[in-house]
Amino acid sequence: MIDWMIEKDLVGYETAVSKMEERVASIRGGQADEAVWLLEHPSLYTAGTSAKESDLLDARFPVFKSGRGGEYTYHGPGQRVAYVSLDLRERQKGNPDVRGYVRSLEEWIIRTLAVFGVKGERRAGRVGIWVDMVPYGGREGEEAKIAAIGVRIRRWVTYHGIAINLNPDLSHFGGIVPCGISEYGVTSLHALGHKDVDMAALDRALKENFHSVFES
C-alpha cells in the first residue's frame, strides 16, 4: 500500500529530509507503509554527493548539502518535488536493483509528461529527463531539462526522488550549473506552452502513472 501525501504549503529542505529519514526507518522496521510525498520547497539549491564547488555560480538562495546522488540542483515554488520511499527488497523479491529503480523513475516522469503532450526523453550520460526544443522553436540539437532525479537508498528503502518543472522561475537555475551540465538549458511545462496545466493536474497524472509503472 502506498501512502500518498500532498503538502499545500512550502516545506523547508531540512524539515523534508528529517521526515524522509523517519519514514525510511519506519518502513524498514515495518511500522509504516511505503510513501510518495508531493511538495514544493522555497527557493534553494542542493548539492548532491557528486557536486563540484565550481558549479555553484551564485549562491543567491540557501545551499544545502544533500545525501542524494547527483550534483547541484534548484528547488523552488512551481516545481513539483516527489519524494519516494519504497522497499526495494520487498518489491524486487529479494533482488533489489538500483538501476532498475532509477529507470522506473524515468519512465514515471516520461509517462506523466506524455499526458500533457510533452515528449520527455532519456539521454545517455545525462541524468534526468530532457525535451528536444526543435518543435518549440529551438535550433537543431537544442535540448532542455524538464525533470531531475536524485535518489538515496538506506537498507534498500529509497528516499529523495524526482522534481518536475511545472512553472518555476527558470532564471533561478542560473545560480548553478544544473547537474553539472552547462551545454543545455532548463524548461518547464508552462515554458513549453502548457500554461493550462496546474499542480493538481500534474499530481493526478503522477499518481495515475505511478501505479502503471510501479504496480504493473
Catalytic residue numbers, as ranges: 179
Q: Is 79 helix (H, G, I), strand (E, B) or coil?
A: strand
- Which amino acid appears at position 72 of this protein? Y
Core vs surface per residue 19-45: b (16+ CB within 10 A) or e: bbeebbeebbeeeeebbbbbbbbebbb
Enclosing H/E stretch for 45? strand 44-47
d(CA 43, CA 188) in angstroms, rounded, equals 16
